[in-house]
Structure 1
Amino acid sequence: MTLPLIPPMLATPGRLPPAVQDQRWAYETKQDGQRVMVYLPGDGSLSLRARSGEEITGAYPELRPLGDALGATPAVLDGEVLALDEQGRADFQLLQSRMGLAHAPARAARRAAQVPVHLVLFDVPYLTEPLLRLPYLRRRERLVELGLTGAYWSTPAAVVGHGAEALAATREHGLEGLVCKRLDSVYEPGIRSRAWIKIRNMRAEDVIVGGWLPGRGRLSGLPGAVLVGQRAGERLRYVGGVGTGWSEAERAELAALLRDAASERCPFDPVPRVPGARWVLPRLVGEVSYSTRTRAGLLRQPSWLRLRPDLTPEDSAADLPEGSGGGDAP
């Protein structure tokens, strides 16, 4: 049969619901992977579509057996494709080696043998008929009843209430964050809804500014991003570019400080490949937030928090192990 195309419902960034409303919400682990809608027509076939609507079935051949899991029952499932590290945690950098291979079946099969993926399922907006108007709690019950657990897919539990404890647990185990879903929420295809709230666990560290990239348009003459590093022994290792988090006044202040510290020599060792970079003496210390690090030690999703005029580069707390950091701009 022909299933309806259903764009995924999206969560809005935010905070935990008020404690008095805690029991009205379910809490799921936020995963660092690729969002997918799974189409099971009931004929043994399977189709995967990315959040953009692109057909990506060919990129993940190990998921094809899921097409038989519900027999002749047609369904559309909502989930996330993950690549897991040795500790069983989602590693987006690993997953990137699997993405983009939808039209390269031979390469996809080879990568599947080397880096198998795991699909976590968390909603069912269609099961024989549309379930869009059913409340989340009922859809979740229907999904759990399907018993979809296999070598390459599973249906992780959601917790009702205990949001603060659930968020603390994700931080303790180094997970990306939490998604809060109101129990009475309907499924809103393609909508970024306040009925789903995502909370990303962010870390904060001190960094040393070693360069910058000029802004464009209205930011002409101002820094569009600063290039930052952290100490690794006697060297300053590049850990990424930070292009968000400033007010206009803070960006102007930083521009003046960068001009005063201009240098012809790159302070990072090794020198990162960042076209158009302008180098400065490594004497400014700032604090940034970020979600996690890549395998090369680069910061993922960094955002500027503040200058640290109270610290010198020698005082900054972070000290990378030798061999981490460096490389191209993220």
Structure 2
Amino acid sequence: MTLPLIPPMLATPGTLPPTAQDARWAYETKQDGQRAVVYLQGDGTLLLRSRSGDDITAAYPELRPLGEALRTTSAVLDGEILALDEQGRANFQLLQSRMGLAHAPARAARMAARTPVHLVLFDVMHLAGRSLVKVPYSRRRGRLEELSLEGPYWSTPGAVVGHGTEALEATREHGLEGLVCKRLDSLYEPGVRSRAWIKIRNMHSEDVIVGGWLPGKGRIAGLPGSLLVGQFAADGRLRYVGGVGTGWSEAERTELAELLRAGATDVCPFDPVPHVASARWVVPRLVGEVRYSVRTRSGLLRQPSWLRLRPDLAPQDSAAHLRDDV
């Protein structure tokens, strides 16, 4: 390869910039997909590398025509590979069926016909033989948009300068994962998690009912490593919605261990019984509140973390009920 290998710049979790600095930032929709650095040699070929540097080109055959989009101009681009649901929103669960197929091209081709991906482009780090990593974001973004990279399986969505509060609210209203704030004067820092890029993830919170747990390992052996939680379906069954393994202090973990031991039972309270190895069941009487990003199509909570116990709520009186659209 004649193009330089450039690991992707990473964003730091945070909050919106101060209002007084709003005009110094651009705002892009945070996408829930697989990060990819795109190498266009200018000879019609395409190379995709994951965040870890692995060659993932063969996993996404529908993106190969992008190699000819700039004709003889070479480029290194930054983007995110998405799988879109019926509403046109990124769905990581759908994407998982496409990931990991770089060494199975025949299967990748079949999956591409069934679940095509879409590549969102948001930066350019090298263009026509010239490095752009020391060029400010605002100018890089302008160069990227001038390339007019729009196709059947790729696009270059716009960025909004200023109006951060409104941009974040728009992502919430449309059920999107969140927002990435990028300082207009920021340089591209390969492989660095930089404060010049800030990511804000939209999170939801709901009540859940604890129906089991998994033992911790190492220093937390004998204590809960994760809680198995559920919510009531319309027919009254307690449906499993996932395992929660983060969000506790040491004192809270110890308190939970005592409550779980007191409620131990040999009967699984979930219907249907989830396939969770080494699960220990409890009488479903503890209500807690969790934070999560999105639900999968099967109703599981993605990236859940524990917020607090709700001793003020009884299971049947809580808001721990599955949504009708799950």
Give CA deviations for 1:212-265 in whole Å, capped at 9, x if unaligned. 001011101110000000001221000000000001111111111111111111
Residue in 2 that maps onto 1:179: 180
Shift of 1:145: 0.4
Are 1:102 and 2:99 an aligned pair?
Answer: no
2:209/2:320 contact within 8 Å kept: no
> How far apart, CA to CA, are the structure 2 residues paired with 1:60 and 1:18?
40
SS at match of 1:257: helix
Does 1:58 pair with 2:72?
A: no
Task: Give the match for residue 217 of structure 2.
Answer: 216
Which of residues 299, 317, 323 in structure 1 aligns to 2:319? 317
In the TM superposition, 1:112-261 aligns within 5 A as 112-128=112-128, 129-232=130-233, 233-261=235-263
**Structure 2 stretches of 5 or more lacking a match?**
none
Q: What RMSD in Å do the two structures reach over aligned CA positions?
A: 1.1
User: Which residue of structure 2 lines up, in the alignment, with residue 93 of structure 1?
Assistant: 93
Rounded to whole Å, the distance in 2 between the matches of 1:279 and 1:48 is: 45
Q: Is the 8 A contact 2:120 2:154 kept in 1?
A: yes
In the alignment, the residues of structure 2 paired with residue 31 and residue 203 of structure 1 have an alpha-carbon distance, to the nearest angstrom, of 17
Q: Distance in 2 between matches of 1:84 and 1:322?
A: 21
- The Cα shift of 1:323 comes to 10
How far is 1:319 from its partner? 1.8
Please name the residue that 2:280 is paired with: 278
In 1, distance between residues paired with 2:92 and 2:57?
A: 18
Q: How many residues align?
A: 324
Give the corresponding residue for 2:308: 306
**2 CA distance for matches of 1:311 and 1:48?**
50
2:291 alignment partner in structure 1: 289
TM-score by length of 2: 0.98
CA distance in 2, matches of 1:174, 1:113: 27
How does the TM-score come out when normalised to structure 1?
0.97
Cα contact 2:214–2:280 (8 A) shared by 1: yes
Q: Which runs of 5+ in 1 are unaligned?
A: 325-330
SS in 2 for 1:123: strand
Query: What letter corresponds to residue 163 of structure 2 in structure 1?
Result: H
Rounded to whole Å, the distance in 2 between the matches of 1:178 and 1:112 is: 28
CA distance in 2, matches of 1:212, 1:31: 32
Name the residue aligned to 1:327: none
State the secondary structure of the residue aligned to 2:316. coil
Offset at 1:318? 3.0
Which residue does the alignment assign to 1:24? Answer: 24
